[in-house]
Amino acid sequence: MVNILGVPFGGSSVPVIAGPCSIESKEQFLGLAQELKEMKVSFLRGGIYKLRTNPESFQGLGKEAYPIAQEVSHATGLPFTSEVTDPRQIEELHEITSMFQVGTRNMYNYDLLKELGKSSKPVLLKRAFSATYGEFLNAAEYILAAGNKNVLLCERGIRTFVNDTRNTFDINAIPFLKNRTDLPVLADPSHGTGLTELVEPVALAALAAGADGLIIEVHNDPKNALSDGQQALTTEQFKSFLDKADKILNVLGRSLHERG
Ligand code: PEP
Ligand code: MN
């Protein structure tokens, strides 16, 4: 079990991390975060440094997002996670985030993993889109061996011959990893599918398969999002998903973690 500021990952209460792919402005993030707080979401996400396939694409606000993230996390009282893309960002992001996120493109960045292993802050390690389970577990071991025992694994879809969806969410990964390790195993159905209409069914499947938490992209205006709008849920879609998620979990003797 990894407890982050009162949010337990790995027990019978299952938290959902939600927020935009990228922090775009104070208005956008604050407005969305307040809506999410009303829905009793446990944890916020929001990209500050974005590793985009196309160098012309929006790269995130970078340092400009630091005061926004701090203010939103403080105003809502919710923990916040964001991706660290370079060891040089660790010190600064340590002040801003409650948990570091390592993205799919950096799972093999062993120097980054070793540095995060020296940190006292939890790390959400995403599976590289081409990684075997063994490689994924070894990447986690780099962080654990360096002293940081608060590692959470996240299945976020892999690259297969199917090119109709952005990635193929590997449902096998959840029970497989849970049988091999005591680390919490989370699911990211947003990047795992890349399509809004697939997020809810795949997220429910991940919970049924035993996921210890979810990380989901939600946007107040997906059509105008600066990144990943095609896979974002609207706040209405997200709210209706949460009800179903709790019902699935109840069948399995678990429940959705709600911020009190
Ligand atoms: C993200 O969660 O913002 C992200 C970029 O995810 P991934 O690294 O899994 O693509
Ligand atoms: Mn994204």
**59, 99, 101, 230: which to mutate for ligand 1, most atoms within 8 A of CB?**
101
**End-to-end distance of the chain based on CA atoms, in angstroms?**
19
Burial of 250 (0-12, 13-18, 19+ CB in 10 A): exposed
Dihedrals phi, psi of 161, to nearest 5 degrees: -70, -10
By the CB criterion, residues less than 5 angstroms from ion ligand 2 are 21, 228
Kindly report the pTM of this predicted structure. 0.98
Atom of ligand 1 lying closest to residue 47 CA: 3
> How many angstroms separate the CA atoms of 206 and 171, rounded?
6
Q: Are 176 and 145 a contacting pair, CB within 8 Å? A: no
Q: Which residues pair with 100 in a beta bridge?
A: 82, 123
**Residue pLDDT tens, the chain, 260 long:** 999 999 999 999 999 999 999 999 999 999 999 999 999 999 999 999 999 999 999 999 999 999 999 999 999 999 999 999 999 999 999 999 999 999 999 999 999 999 999 999 999 999 999 999 999 999 999 999 999 999 999 999 999 999 999 999 999 999 999 999 999 999 999 999 999 999 999 999 999 999 999 999 999 999 999 999 999 999 999 999 999 999 999 999 999 999 87
Residue linked to tokens 């959470």: 152
Structural tokens at position 138: 């070894």
Q: Are 17 and 259 a contacting pair, CB within 8 Å? A: no
pLDDT at position 260: 73
> How many angstroms separate the CA atoms of 65 and 193, rounded?
27
Report how far ligand 2's centroid is from the alpha carbon of 185 (Å). 19
Report how far ligand 1's centroid is from the alpha carbon of 218 (Å). 13
Residue 199 CA, distance from chain mean position: 14
Output the CA–CA distances (angstroms, integers) from residue 31 to 88, 106, 117, in the order listed: 30, 30, 34
Q: Hey, is 39 helix, strand or coil?
A: coil
Amino acid at 183: L
Report how far ligand 1's centroid is from the alpha carbon of 191 (Å). 7
The residue count for the chain: 260
> How many angstroms separate the CA atoms of 116 and 94, rounded?
10
Residue linked to tokens 């922090």: 23
Atom 8 (ligand 1) nearest CA = 103
Atom of ligand 1 lying closest to residue 102 CA: 8
DSSP 153-189: EEE--B--S--SSSSB--TTHHHHHHHH-SS-EEE-H
Question: Measured from the CB, is residue 21 less than 6 Å from ligand 1?
Answer: yes
Q: Give per-residue pLDDT as tens, 128-177.
A: 999 999 999 999 999 999 999 999 999 999 999 999 999 999 999 999 99
Structural tokens at position 83: 């991706």
**Is the dihedral angle over the CA atoms 98, 77, 44, 41 positive or is it negative?**
positive
